[in-house]
């Protein structure tokens, strides 16, 4: 400011000196005054022009280049640009924090909806869009209750008590896999609300499976216990002949064996779920395993018909020189369940074939085919559920526990394998476990030694 005042006085002094120098001798004072006025006007016009440059510069969006670099207006332009850049940096930092916050909400596994005081949607993440069927372009600033028309949700949103959440159907609730949501409002700010939604479909299915599991176990155990209690009461109260007594004891032994098999399968499932995954160090040779499976199938076929020889046509192909990396007990349990199921559900005189298939990528599959009655397509997706049976009466007659395929599924998953089921009613079924190449060890066949 001092330099600006000094410059103005200097210009006026120069103007007065030039005015006095150019004026006649008798009019030097008037010439000095006129020179000072002219110098002041010129200084004002120059300063006004610099001010207009700064004003036009301020009206632009880009403030990169200063219009003037010296004087008062140069200082003003410099400070304005520095202040503007500082505020732009703060705005960019705030925008970045906001975008990071929204990105975190976008990555949340829960649905998030921001609602203003009027009940309109301000923002929502992709999870909420899939939960409620919302569209980011179409539904923003729309009233939420106009888009989510579930009566229970509308009632819940209209009240002011949000201490508890609400369970409701989500988008696609009418499909084969209904979506169940847990939603809850959280008030914040001035009348605003935050809506959180969580997919609880798996939790409700697990709870339903737990209830079904308890009910099925109770039913499966109650049936043989009722039979045993009836036979025991008969043996205690009635005078029976030795043949009748032996017959009743044989029936009691069967029911006892049935309960023992059920408890054994339950313990196997519990052990599979609780134990760590099997390592890939231990090797389970396939040839002796196939021999054992063939012997078990022949024994079961004969036992089901109470004969000395098998009543099914059993075909076990020659096994390849393979070994499976994993648990010997688990692998034997899974393959044995597939073979025993084929024998149990195939009528006498039918055929059961077990074989190994080698794949081009180095993997291998164990396949069991039978000529039984087959399975309808609607039952196939649920065959690996615990205690799920296509025909309960037939399952009880065959002595199955309803847990065999559930055990097979768990063992396959623990060894990185996949279970595939194919069946046609009236034409039999095919069960295949495909093992990946990293779970197989190809054993070199010994060289032929001439005699």
Question: In this structure, what CATH number is given to the domain that contains residue 242?
Answer: 1.10.287.130
| pLDDT of 396 strictly over 60 | no
Query: What are the tokens at 107?
Result: 């990555």
For residue 192, what are its two tokens? 């605003």
User: Which of 275, 302, 333 is the last residue in one of the domains?
Assistant: 275
Torsion (CA) 166, 171, 172, 177 in degrees, nearest 10: -50
pLDDT tens figures, 332-347: 999 999 999 999 889 9
Question: Residues 281, 271: one domain?
Answer: no
Which token pair is 79? 């400070």
Residue whose token pair is 């009743």:
248
* pLDDT one-digit tens code per residue, 6-27: 565 666 677 666 666 666 666 6
Residue 191 maps to a domain: yes
> What CATH number is given to the structural domain containing 284?
3.30.565.10
Query: Lowest-pLDDT range, 23-32, 205-214, 271-280, 283-292?
Result: 23-32
Same domain, 374 and 439: yes
Same domain, 148 and 182: yes
Of 275, 297, 313, the one marking the end of a domain is 275
Distance CA 177, CA 290 (A): 39
Please check whether residue 263 lies inside any domain of the structure: yes
Looking at residue 417, its pLDDT comes to: 94
Q: Is 55 a residue whose pLDDT tops 90? A: no
Are residues 301 and 440 part of one domain?
yes
Residue 448, pLDDT score: 44
Place of tokens 């000529």: 371
> 203-244 pLDDT, tens per residue?
888 888 778 777 777 777 887 888 888 888 888 888 878 888
Last residue of a domain, one of 199, 228, 255: 199
User: Distance of alpha carbon 415 from its chain centroid, rounded?
Assistant: 21
Based on the fold, state whether residues 422 and 294 are members of the same structural domain. yes
User: Among candidates 362, 365, 343, which has minimal Cα distance to 432?
Assistant: 365
Distance CA 167, CA 181 (A): 6
pLDDT digits (tens, 9 = 90+) for 305-322: 788 788 899 999 999 999
147 and 72 part of one domain: no
17 and 127 belong to one structural domain: no
| 284 touches 328 (CB < 8 A) | yes
Q: Based on the domain organization, do 96 and 132 belong to the same domain?
A: no
Statement: residue 196 has pLDDT above 50: yes
Other Cβ atoms closer than 10 A to 424:
12
The answer to whether position 412 is within a domain reads yes
Region of residue 163 (left: phi > 0; alpha: psi -120 to 50; beta: else):
alpha
Domain carrying residue 396: 276-446
355 falls within a domain: yes
Residue 344's region, left for phi above 0, alpha for psi from -120 to 50, else beta, is alpha
310 inside domain: yes
Q: Label the pairing between strands 322-325 and 364-370.
A: unpaired
177: tokens are 């896999």
- 245 in the Ramachandran plot: left (φ > 0), alpha (ψ -120 to 50) or beta? alpha
Q: What is the mean pLDDT of residues 102-126?
A: 88
Any domain includes 401: yes
Q: Strands, E, within 43-162: which ranges?
A: 111-115, 121-124
Asked if residue 372 and residue 247 are part of one domain, the reply reads no
Co-location of 378 and 246 in the same domain: no
Residues 64 and 192 in one domain: no
Phi-psi region of 257 (alpha: psi -120 to 50; beta: other; left: phi over 0): alpha
- Based on the domain organization, do 149 and 163 belong to the same domain? yes
Question: Could you give the CA distance from residue 396 to residue 282 in angstroms, rounded to a whole number?
Answer: 37
Is 451 domain-assigned? Answer: no
CA nearest neighbour of 356 among 435, 429, 241: 435
Instruction: Find the length of the chain.
Output: 451
Structurally, the chain folds into a number of domains equal to 4
């Amino acid at each position: 400011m001092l330099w600006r005042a000094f410059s103005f006085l200097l210009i006026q002094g120069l103007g007065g000196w030039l005015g006095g120098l150019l004026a006649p001798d008798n009019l030097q004072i008037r010439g000095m005054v006129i020179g000072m006025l002219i110098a002041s006007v010129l200084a004002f016009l120059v300063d006004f022009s610099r001010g207009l440059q700064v004003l036009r510069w301020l009206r632009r969006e880009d403030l990169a280049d200063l219009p003037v670099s010296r004087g008062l207006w140069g200082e003003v332009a410099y400070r304005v640009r520095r202040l503007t850049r500082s505020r732009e940096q703060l705005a960019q930092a705030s925008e970045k924090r906001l975008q990071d916050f929204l990105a975190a909400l976008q990555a949340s596994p829960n649905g998030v909806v921001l609602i203003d005081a009027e009940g309109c949607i301000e923002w929502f993440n992709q999870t909420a869009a899939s939960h409620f069927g919302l569209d980011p372009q179409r539904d923003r600033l729309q009233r939420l209750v106009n888009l989510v028309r579930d009566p229970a949700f509308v009632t819940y949103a209209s009240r002011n008590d949000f201490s508890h959440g609400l369970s409701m159907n989500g988008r696609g609730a009418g499909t084969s896999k209904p979506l169940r949501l847990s939603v809850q409002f959280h008030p914040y700010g001035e009348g605003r609300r935050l809506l959180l939604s969580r997919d609880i479909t798996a939790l409700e299915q697990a709870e339903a499976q737990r209830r079904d599991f308890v009910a099925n176990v109770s039913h499966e155990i109650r049936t043989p216990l009722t039979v045993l209690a009836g036979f025991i009461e008969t043996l205690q109260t009635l005078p029976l002949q030795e043949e009748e007594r032996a017959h009743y004891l044989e029936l009691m032994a069967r029911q006892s064996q049935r309960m023992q098999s059920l408890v054994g399968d339950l313990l196997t499932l519990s052990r599979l779920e609780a134990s760590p995954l099997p390592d890939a160090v231990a090797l389970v040779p396939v040839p002796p395993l196939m021999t054992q499976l063939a012997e078990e199938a022949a024994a079961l076929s004969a036992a089901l018909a109470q004969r000395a020889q098998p009543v099914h046509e059993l075909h076990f192909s020659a096994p390849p020189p393979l070994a499976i990396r994993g648990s010997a007990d688990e692998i034997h349990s899974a393959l044995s369940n597939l073979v025993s199921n084929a024998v149990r559900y195939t009528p006498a005189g039918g055929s059961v074939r077990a074989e190994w298939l080698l794949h081009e990528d180095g993997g291998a599959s164990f396949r069991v085919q039978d000529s039984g009655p087959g399975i309808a397509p609607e039952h196939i997706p649920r065959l690996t559920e615990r205690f799920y049976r296509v025909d309960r009466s037939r399952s009880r007659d065959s002595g199955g526990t309803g847990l065999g395929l559930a055990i097979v599924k768990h063992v396959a998953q623990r060894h990185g394998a996949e279970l595939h089921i194919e069946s046609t009613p009236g034409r039999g079924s095919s069960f295949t476990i495909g093992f990946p190449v990293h779970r197989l060890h190809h054993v070199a066949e010994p060289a032929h030694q001439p005699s």
